[in-house]
Structures are given as C-alpha cells and as structure tokens.
A and B are shown apart, each in its own frame.
Chain A
Amino acid sequence: MSGTRNTETLALDGELTIFRAAELKTLLAGLSPRSALELNLEGVAEVDTAGLQLLEAARRAAAAAGAPFRLRTASPALIDAIRLMGLHELLLAVAAKEERA
C-alpha cells in the first residue's frame, strides 16, 4: 500500500525475561516509531510477564503511530505465554498476514 514506509526487522532470541528487560526496552524504544516493525521471535526460549509487557508496549507504540506491527515468527513457548496471559492483540499480530495485497 504505502510503499514509502520502511520496515524494520528485529530478531530476538534466548530469554525474553526481566533479566534482559532493560536491554530489550532500549532496543525496542530505539526503533523509529513510524517504521513497520517485524519481529522474528522463533528463537525465544523463555518468556515472562516482563517480556510480554514489553511486546505489548511495543505493539501499542506502533498502533499509536499507525505503523504495522507483526510477529513474523514466534516460538511455541512464546505463543503459549501470550495465549495464557490472554493478550489477544499480540496473538493477532502473530497471525497477521504480510501486509501486501
């Protein structure tokens, strides 16, 4: 659609937990809010509430800027956690098809 928008792709793996929360936040907050964000999360082995909060905050930031937000890949552990916590919008972001007509 709008071909002018940049897409930033970020791959995170290992722990998505409080132990890396500060580092991850800096990483996510450093991305341009106007860019579409694609996250590759198939390598995420462990996730906790802090990690989920960060993903949700990133999703909200993108939504507020009107930018697409997509979890291109996600590990089973992550999907389980998102389901368990009832974070439906994140779940939708996993399922979202590439925004190409």
Chain B
Amino acid sequence: MNLEEVYITFLNESRELLEAMEAALLGMEGAPDDPDLVNAVFRAAHTIKGSSGVFGFDAVEAFTHHVESVLDRVRNGELSVTDDLIAVMLACRDHMGDLVEAAVAGADTDATVQATGRGLVEQLVNWLGQGAAEPVPPTPDDRSATASDSAVANSCWHISIRFNPDVLQAGLDPLALLRFLGRTGELVHVEPVLDTLPPLDAMDPEVCYTGLEIALRSDVDRSAIEDAFEFFRDDATLHILPPRAPMDEYLALIDALPEEEMRIGEILVRTGALTAAELDVALGRQQQTPAPLREPIGQMLGEAGTVPTEVVQAAADKQQRAREASRQSIRVDADKLDSLINLVGELVIAGATTSLLAQRRGDEELLESNSVMTRLVEEIRDSALRLRMVQIADTFNRFQRVVRDVSRDLGKAVRLEISGGETELDKTVVEKIGDPLMHLVRNAMDHGLEDTAGRATAGKPEQGTVRLNAYHDSGSIVIEVSDDGRGLNTDRILAKAREKGLVTANQQLTPQEIARLIFEPGFSTAEQVTNISGRGVGMDVVKRNIEALRGTVDVESSPGEGTTFSIRLPLTLAIIDGFLVGVGESSYVIPLDMVIECIEVTDEERAEHVDAHYINLRGEVLPFLRLHDLFDESAAGHGRENIVVVQYAGQKAGLVVDALLGEFQTVIKPLGKVFRNLRGVSGATILGSGEVAVILDVPQLIQTASAQAGTRAAA
C-alpha cells in the first residue's frame, strides 16, 4: 500500500465516521440523555483525531481536539445536551469534514473555512468554560501552547526505535536513517541500545541488534519526522515524543520498551530526554499505580498521541480492522467489479451461442450439459449483480440532516419517516438518485407542507411529516417521497399550464393528468422563489434525471391530505431476464419482469380486431400495439399471431408479435447517439447467433398503446 492509498483509506474511513457522528447527533435531538449516542459521537471524534494525528494532519487534529474536549465533558455529565450544543456539534462535524478533505487533498483551507473554524473553536471554548470550574486538563495536542506542570523540560523530540531483526537483510540501514534525521534537525544525542547483541562468536552478523534512542532538536512537525521513518514503517517499533511531552507519554514509553525500566530510565537521562529528578518522579509514580489498575499500554499510547507501531500503515489498518470486525466486509475497487460484470455479460452471450449450436446439432448430451452451464451462468450473473447492490438506507439517512436543517430555515416543524431502507439497488443508481431525491424532499417541505399556522387551521398535528419509502415491485425498485401537506393545487396548476400554453383552454384533463403537468419543462407554480427549492431547477429536471436511469416518476395527490412522488427505477443497468419474440424477420426482447401472460390470437379474432386497438381480455379493455406496424417489419405471411400482455406501473397493454421464442438472458448494450430519439426502444443486445435484437421500452409502448386506444375510442 503506498501513501496515497493509505490517504484514501483514511478519507473513506473518516467520511464514514463523520456520517456515524451525524446520525448519532441527530439521534441525540430525540434522546438527549442516551449515553450510547453521546459515546458514539465521542468515539467518532476521538478516532478521527487519533488517525489525523498519526497522518500529521495537524489542522484536523487540533480542531477535533476541541470538539473532543467538549464531548468528553458531555460524556462525564458536566455539560448537558441542548439543542444549541447539538447545532454547534453538527457544524463542527461539517467543519471536520472540510478539514479532512482539504488535508487529504494537500490543499490549504480557504479563508471562509478558516473563519468558520475560528468561530467554532470560540464557541467550543465557551462551553469548556461552563460547568465545573476545574481547569481543562492539558492534552498532548495543546502542549506547545500550554506547557503544563506535568510536561517534561526537554525541548527536543525524543525518538525511540527498535528495528526488526531482518531489516539489514531487507537492505535498510539504521545508520542511513540517522543521516536522514540529521538533515531534519540537530541530532543532540544518539544512544544505541545494543542490549540484545550476543557475544561475537554467537552473533548472526546479518541480524540487526541495534535499537536507537534519539534526541532531535528540530522545528519541523511530527509528519516531517515520520516521513524519515517511512521505509521502516513495517520493520520497526517506533515512538515519537514531541518536545515538552507530558510525563505520561514518557511513562508509557518506558512501559512499552522491551528493556528494563531502570535501564531505559538511564538511557532517557543520558539522551537528555528526562532529568534525573524527572525520572525519579516518573518511576515513583509508575510504582504508585497498582498494576491491575494500569491502563493497557496501547490505550495509554493512544491517548498520549504517540505512534504505537509501524506508524501510518498500522493506524490505517487497525482502524479498518476494527470496523471490519463489526461488519464482515471487504472493500473492492469499483472498477474491478465493473470489469467482472462486463465479463459476466460476455459469458452470457457466449453461453447463448453454445446453446444455439447445441440446438442446431440436436446433440442431446451437449444440450444437457449446456443447460447445466446456463443455470450456473445465470447464478453467477445474479451473484455478480448482487455485488453491486447496496441498501438505500445510507442515502435515506442522509436526509435526516437535510430535513432538520431545512425545517429550521423554514420555521416549520418537520419529521422525517424512513421505511424500506433495507431495499437494495444498483450502486450506480444509488449514486445518481441523490439529487432528484434531494429536490423532491426539499420541495415537499417547502411547498408541500403548510406552515404551522396553516396546519393548525387544517386540524393537523403541528409537526408535518415527510416520508421516504422504498420497496421492490416486479423488477423495479420504487422510491416514494410523500408528505402530509396540503396536496397539489390542481386549479392553480391548470391555470398556469393554460397560461403557459401547455394545454388548450378546452382540453379536459383528469386530476391525475393535471398533477403530471408539473413535470413539464418550464413549469413552476412557486409564487415566491425561496432558497429552499426555488432554485430554478424544476420538476422537469428531476424527471429527466430519473429517465436517464431508465426510470419513471409519477405523482399522486389528494387535496388537504398530501402528495406522493413515486420514482420507479430498474434494479440494474446491466443485464436483465428477457423474453424473446419474433416479428417478421427480426427478434425483439421484452424485459421478462414486465410480461404477465401470452395469449394466442385466432384467425377469427384477428379478423374481428383488424381495425381495433384494444381487445377484451376477460372483461377488461386491453389496448394493444402491432409491433409489425410499429417497426415496419415485412409481413410474415400467415400463421398465428400472439399477444404478449405487459404491465408497468399498474398499466397493461398487449404487444402483437409473430412468434414467441422464449426466455433469453439479455446483456443490455446501450444504443448509439443516433438512436437516442428512437421511441419504444430502450437498448439492444446480441443474440447467440450474433444478430442484434432490440430491447423494447415497455413503459413507452404502453403509453403509446393507451393513447391510440383512447383516440380511437374518442373518435
């Protein structure tokens, strides 16, 4: 792992910790006395402080230290959780996020961010001043500013390093390390620790027996010193104590080193790290603490801010391990996953070719073995696709904060209800659905919900509710954003649409059709543009974004009761189960999830319906389309026609085809730009024979069929 990768790990971990911190803070609003939540917030801050210290991200470490101090007092019951405190902590959390991103990017934070930081620190310091009057205990991070009584007088860095026996064989030379360190500052004292050096005749001349205790006078920061040890990261145990470190750090060091306590003490005195008097105090204190009560060394080191082992790498690893222990998972590069899915796609196509050949030869055994392989390929396909599936919960939970902030801005009391968070969908889709959802949620709060007075008049509870819900429905995932507000004002929408020329004055529309007008480009009823949702981005953009994901969006509203937006998205963007049909000379694929049944059409029936655009399906009016006519296929002569009944979002239609060719695993290949405006087609795929088949856009076809049947019926 190189340094860059370690940084990326740090960044990802930090982001997750910050999310956990935010979730816990929001939870505290409802349960201010829950110690678990306070601890969760504290832990997140503490871990970020610790790892940023290890990485030498001083700005992050310094700021987070203040946050941690306040949280510590909350944890100890010295400060109570108030709305103000939570608000400041949320702001701090955001600032930490900014600092972390900047630190990893190696950039300086801009003036605004710095000003925010200063403001926050001021507020935090105020909080520290409250409550119990005892002074804030000095911490390692403040040591340069406030040298406390317990800090040692030594003004040099103290570096203690024990090499692994095989470093010399690995081509690493501690002597070279010293030369390098000598360039970062003045090597005031170097004390070799050769306690393990065996007698001459017993020694292995290629093993490293040398340890070093170093006093370094230097103005550089911790990270610059750590850089010197980069090559030894995996090959040595390293402790770095800053100038005027607290005595506790030396205690921990003495504890951690393999040599005898007194021996180390002598060395420390000799290097000038401790004075003899300080050593006496230190060792005296060491013995006062009864052994069982001593903190584990690791913890002491962690708290003291030293670097326990193998510096950067270890810290990153450890943090990751701790997390993985709680949730068994591994990180996989998204690119690797994509290439796996691509390969599986190719495998599906190759499998189809083999199937076809086996069928043509009529080789029973080959067919048999091929069917087993096909089943396995299907399973691999499903598993591979599932790897890309993530729960939508994380996306949903992010809105807690949005709802909280927006409700404060608007002065409305709003509660966010989340359900169906465990519903899984493709990661690509999850990433792209955030913006449309954000728009819908903000919109629901701003326009959907009445203000507090309005709700009281309407006899509703003062607190409005916004709901996020997700569930699976026949090969799609449905995400709903609903509110219990005033509902859409259909009169106003209609008036506006007429004014904008979207509908003619005498056009009769159902309430549902009127509601859908809000998705038309350039439509916005907001009488006043607010900074919440009226940013010039209309519902048409939401609709376009969702359609880009092969999804649809619909709205339902009942006056006075609320509005529900339903987003319907395909589960995956890569491979589907298809139903292959023949029309004329060509083959077409219908997504199998949308196929309900197939009906045979007899010649008599055909004669009966020759001009109609709907049939009677067990007493139901079923509009249908002849794919023949639609795609201008040459007539296939006689033979029976079949109707494939398809359904999408509660609407049905029939598609008239010549032949039913059965199920087919379909790898979706996008169509080129030329075909972008083609209606009724959503993509293409390659058949086992190598021919290209078009994938039908069923939602579009259903709409066309309904529209045709409607105009016929009206005519």
Would you call B414 an interface residue if the criterion is a C-beta within 8 Å of the partner chain's C-beta atoms?
no
For A50, list chain B residues within 8 Å (CB): 168, 205-206, 208
Q: Which of A22, A29, A47, A81 has the most CB of B within 10 A?
A: A29
Would you call A84 an interface residue if the criterion is a C-beta within 8 Å of the partner chain's C-beta atoms?
yes
Given A49-B174, A52-B175, A86-B191: A18 and B199 interface contact (C-beta under 8 Å): no
* B282 nearest CB across to chain A (Å): 23
Given A49-B208, A49-B210: A57 and B200 interface contact (C-beta under 8 Å): yes
Would you call B609 an interface residue if the criterion is a C-beta within 8 Å of the partner chain's C-beta atoms?
no
* B180 nearest CB across to chain A (Å): 11
Would you call A61 an interface residue if the criterion is a C-beta within 8 Å of the partner chain's C-beta atoms?
yes
Which residue of chain B is the closest to A86 with respect to CB atoms?
B190
Which residue of chain A is the closest to B171 with respect to CB atoms?
A18
Which residue of chain A is the closest to B182 with respect to CB atoms?
A84
* B519 nearest CB across to chain A (Å): 74
Which residue of chain B is the closest to A54 with respect to CB atoms?
B205
Would you call B194 an interface residue if the criterion is a C-beta within 8 Å of the partner chain's C-beta atoms?
yes
Contact A85 B178 (CB under 8 A): yes
Given A48-B173, A53-B209, A84-B179: A61 and B190 interface contact (C-beta under 8 Å): no
Contact B201 A29 (CB under 8 A): yes
For A93, list chain B residues within 8 Å (CB): none
Contact A21 B205 (CB under 8 A): yes
For B460, list chain A residues within 8 Å (CB): none
Would you call A34 an interface residue if the criterion is a C-beta within 8 Å of the partner chain's C-beta atoms?
no
Instruction: Give complex CA distance A52, B175 in Å.
Output: 9
Would you call B187 an interface residue if the criterion is a C-beta within 8 Å of the partner chain's C-beta atoms?
yes
Contact A61 B200 (CB under 8 A): yes
Instruction: Give complex CA distance A12, B378 in Å.
Output: 72
Contact A84 B199 (CB under 8 A): no
Q: How large is the interface on B (under 10, 10 to 19, 20 to 34, 35 or more residues)?
A: 20 to 34
Residues of A35-73 contacting chain B, CB below 8 A: 47-50, 52-54, 56-58, 60-61, 64
Would you call B298 an interface residue if the criterion is a C-beta within 8 Å of the partner chain's C-beta atoms?
no
Contact A60 B173 (CB under 8 A): no
For A47, list chain B residues within 8 Å (CB): 175
Instruction: Give complex CA distance A54, B233 in Å.
Output: 25
Given A56-B197, A57-B199, A58-B200: A49 and B175 interface contact (C-beta under 8 Å): yes
Residues of A1-32 contacting chain B, CB below 8 A: 18, 21-22, 24-25, 28-29
Given A53-B209, A57-B200: A86 and B175 interface contact (C-beta under 8 Å): no
* B650 nearest CB across to chain A (Å): 78
Would you call A96 an interface residue if the criterion is a C-beta within 8 Å of the partner chain's C-beta atoms?
no
Would you call B203 an interface residue if the criterion is a C-beta within 8 Å of the partner chain's C-beta atoms?
yes
Would you call B192 an interface residue if the criterion is a C-beta within 8 Å of the partner chain's C-beta atoms?
yes
Contact B206 A22 (CB under 8 A): yes
**Chain A residues within CB distance 8 Å of chain B:** 18, 21-22, 24-25, 28-29, 47-50, 52-54, 56-58, 60-61, 64, 81, 84-87
Given contacts A48-B173, A57-B199, A61-B201, 4 further A-B contacts (CB under 8 A): A47-B175, A60-B200, A84-B178, A84-B179
